[in-house]
Amino acid sequence: MDYDLIVVGAGPAGSATAAKVAAEGFRVLVLEEHPVIGRPLQCSGFVSPRTLDIAGVGQEVVLNSVKGAVVHCGQASLALGGERVHGLVLDRTRLDQLVAAAAEKRGVAFGHGCKVVGLERVDGHVEVRVERRRGGDMLARTRLVVGADGWNSVVARWMGVARAGPTIRAVGIEAEVRGRAMEKAHVFVGNRMAPGWFGWAVPLGDGRIRLGVGADPEAARVHPRALLEMLLEAYPEHFASLKVLSYSGGFIPLYAGRRNGCLDSVADRVMLVGDAARQVKSTSGGGIYTGLVAAECAAATAVRALGEGDLSASALASYERAWRSRLGQELERGRDVRQVFLSLSDDQLQWVLRLFGYGPLQRIISRYGDIDYPSAMFARLAVATPPLRALIALSRTPPLHWMGILGRGISKLAGGGGNGVRPG
């Protein structure tokens, strides 16, 4: 079984890469460990409207359009949004299946229930060892491998990049519930409720809500399920008398930065894309859009390299340059913004929420808020608010304890013990 490209993983990033390479006439195989694409579901499916275009799908995957969000910290809250649609809630399983179906139409072969368990470079090829649910084990040969196999990527481990360099993982637990009708998305921040990250409630539009908590597994002292219970108890006005329909969860490999002087997503005859390459926004944990952008870059490099017959790491490095040029700055800034928020106590977070509730700042957020490219909004907010500007500047300057000092400064501004007061 010889292929030009084997893609490991039939998530959106893998199938989209495969489709574009097969469209140029190359023999492409996608290996997916699960028998059904898109199952099990491990995602809220909250994306920007532009994600539909890049995924090549239409309204048939959209469950709901969301115009605004309310951010909560304790009893402080901030409503954002206006009339623009900021986010869509997708049927994530359907999205994966449609992207895969489009790839199949372009000639991609799919191996369902095929778990990749080993890779080896042999005689100018890569041999891929596969455990099949049916039909026994299999060995396939390919000129190039794309690892699109998610947060626990076997391909990244084989390349030796999985444990190298900075790593930030959030663990997310989610419940689909039937409850009180909700129009906006809700975000819950606070160190007790969601240590190291945040909670969310996304309305599906038919009385169902996807409700979740993401936390830093090292900072959370309790099981994520307990955090979800805590969230339900803390906001009875939103979550009283709801019925849990199902639970899901998973790890989210947040973008953490790059290794000094090293390529993080390519090696000889191999590239990583999507969660496998940690191309995930640290602010929101969203990885669908970024994975699809990277898939375009990976496919362009694969087509050129396969055509020219040079599959060395240096030939594939154009992929890493391309995705970094389209996503790198946003991912880096998102990581910085996350660091800033992590350094704040709950009192300080409440104060920031109240600060952002101040009319002109709220207008900046509603106008420039963009879940894929939030840095433009943060830059404008920073210009408008000197304390925030200082926080962001210091977050880039080690040592990070400067942020703590500034955070204490903010507490003082906020009224000594941290009882937030409305600015201005």
Ligand X SMILES: Cc1cc2nc3c(=O)[nH]c(=O)nc-3n(C[C@H](O)[C@H](O)[C@H](O)COP(=O)(O)OP(=O)(O)OC[C@H]3O[C@@H](n4cnc5c(N)ncnc54)[C@H](O)[C@@H]3O)c2cc1C
Q: Which of 148, 189, 231, 340 binds ligand X (CB under 6 A)?
A: 148
Question: Does residue 93 interact with ligand X by CB under 6 A?
Answer: no
CB closer to ligand X, 154 vs 270 = 154
CB closer to ligand X, 194 vs 403 = 194
CB closer to ligand X, 103 vs 392 = 103
CB closer to ligand X, 127 vs 346 = 127
Shortest distance (Å) from residue 43 CB to ligand X: 4
CB closer to ligand X, 39 vs 401 = 39
Question: Does residue 297 interact with ligand X by CB under 6 A?
Answer: no
Question: Does residue 334 interact with ligand X by CB under 6 A?
Answer: no
Question: Does residue 374 interact with ligand X by CB under 6 A?
Answer: no
Q: Which of 285, 334, 407, 418 binds ligand X (CB under 6 A)?
A: 285
CB closer to ligand X, 249 vs 357 = 249
Shortest distance (Å) from residue 141 CB to ligand X: 17
Cβ-Cβ contacts under 8 Å for 309 (sequence gap 6 or more) = none
**Can you read off the two tokens belonging to residue 3?**
């292929």
- In contact, 28 and 108? CB cutoff 8 Å: yes
CA distances (Å), origin 402, targets 79, 221, 351, 407: 30, 26, 19, 8
Choose the stretch contacting ligand X; rule: CB under 6 A; options: 118-126, 260-268, 284-292, 329-337. 284-292
Other CB atoms within 10 A of residue 315 CB: 17
Cis before residue 399, ω within 30 degrees of 0? yes
- In contact, 148 and 274? CB cutoff 8 Å: yes
**Can you read off the two tokens belonging to residue 370?**
């963009």
Question: Does residue 298 interact with ligand X by CB under 6 A?
Answer: no
Question: Does residue 418 interact with ligand X by CB under 6 A?
Answer: no
Q: Which of 6, 103, 154, 306 binds ligand X (CB under 6 A)?
A: 154
Question: Does residue 32 interact with ligand X by CB under 6 A?
Answer: yes
Within residues 244-273, the interface with ligand X by CB under 6 A covers 249-250, 252
Interface with ligand X (CB under 6 A)? 8-14, 31-34, 42-47, 115-116, 148-150, 154, 172, 174, 212, 249-250, 252, 274-275, 280, 285-289, 291
